[in-house]
């Protein structure tokens, strides 16, 4: 099975999109991460849900986790205000790297190796344009759960 056969549509955002809207998307869809597309509609980064959660926790709590116990529910409900007015590009992890990208013709094992070495919960799948024949095209994403489903089905 090739990467093109495993790729599925997957929610994505742009670097200029609202960070709070991206957080809502992650929460509503229960996604481990969202694919961030560049201005050409190609994979530019991955925004993990854990990164947004980290931004919600006040620095003083990160420095001393015992302080989390003294935050009341009213204050906890306002934590998401830390994302208000910020873009996806502003909340990407420092030093964010390009997401792992598989060629449409890669095998499931090649995708698994890419996912394992990059420690990413998802891999973008791109159809490469022939030289001088236009642009590359994003086909979709392979999630770790989809890849496991495929690999376990072979057992």
Q: pLDDT tens, 57-99? A: 767 767 777 776 767 666 655 667 778 888 999 988 777 678 8
Top-confidence residue, 134 or 47: 47
Q: Would you list the DSSP string of 45-89?
A: EEEEHHHHHHHHS-HHHHH-GGGGGG--HHHHTTGGGGGTT-BHH
pLDDT of residue 109: 93
CA distances from 29 to 10, 25, 40, 46, 134 (A): 10, 6, 25, 16, 33
| pLDDT single digits (tens) 106-116 | 999 999 999 99
pLDDT band at 52 (very low <50, low <70, confident <90, very high): confident
- CATH dotted code for 3-153: 3.10.580.10
Instruction: Report pLDDT for 50.
Output: 86
Q: How far is CA 51 from CA 11, 28, 32, 69, 83, in A?
A: 17, 16, 10, 21, 11
């Amino acid at each position: 099975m090739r990467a093109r056969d495993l790729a599925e549509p997957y929610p994505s955002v742009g670097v200029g999109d609202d960070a709070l809207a991206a957080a809502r998307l992650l929460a509503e869809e229960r996604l481990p991460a969202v694919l961030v597309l560049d201005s050409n509609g190609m994979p530019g980064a991955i925004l993990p849900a854990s990164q947004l959660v980290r931004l919600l926790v006040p620095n003083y709590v990160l420095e001393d986790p015992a302080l989390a116990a003294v935050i009341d529910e009213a204050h906890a409900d306002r934590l998401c205000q830390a994302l208000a007015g910020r873009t996806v590009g502003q909340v990407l992890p420092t030093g964010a790297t390009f997401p792992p990208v598989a060629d449409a013709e890669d095998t499931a094992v090649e995708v698994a190796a890419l996912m394992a070495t990059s420690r990413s919960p998802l891999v973008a799948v791109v159809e490469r344009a022939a030289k001088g024949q236009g642009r590359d095209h994003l086909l979709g994403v392979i999630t770790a759960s989809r890849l496991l489903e495929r690999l376990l089905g072979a057992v």
